[in-house]
């Protein structure tokens, strides 16, 4: 099976893109995804505070990305962590900021679609 068709992330929905195993993957911070992340990582507000203080762990970042993948088709969780390492923390912080912003602010505005 192939990955979800590539489409641009919708910033109005707090979506972001992460390249995993050579393919851009959509990160969608849905309610279900964030609840699953919170079950594993603890309160999301504390996660945001750790990130703001520079205390977010690599495993926490990869876990948040894993839970927010719109499609995991053909992926395993280790590939997400490898993607973060391959891209480096600076580049991986871009989708992280988008997801954390969605957690804090909710809807960012009207969806022009």
Least confident interval from 16-30, 51-65, 95-109 = 95-109
Q: How far apart (Å, rounded) are the C-alpha atoms in residues 92 and 96?
A: 6
Q: How far apart (Å, rounded) are the C-alpha atoms in residues 76 and 51?
A: 24
Write down the pTM of the prediction.
0.86
pLDDT at 7: 67
């Amino acid at each position: 099976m192939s990955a979800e068709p590539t489409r641009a992330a919708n910033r109005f929905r707090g979506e972001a893109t992460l390249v995993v195993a050579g393919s851009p993957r959509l990160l969608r911070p849905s309610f279900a995804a964030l609840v699953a992340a919170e079950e594993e990582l603890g309160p999301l507000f504390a996660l945001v505070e750790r990130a703001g203080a520079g205390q977010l762990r690599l495993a926490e970042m990869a876990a948040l990305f894993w839970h927010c993948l719109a499609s995991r088709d053909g992926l395993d969780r280790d590939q997400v962590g490898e993607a973060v390492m391959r891209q480096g923390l600076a580049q991986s912080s871009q989708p992280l900021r988008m997801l954390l912003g969605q957690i804090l602010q909710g809807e960012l505005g009207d969806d022009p679609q």
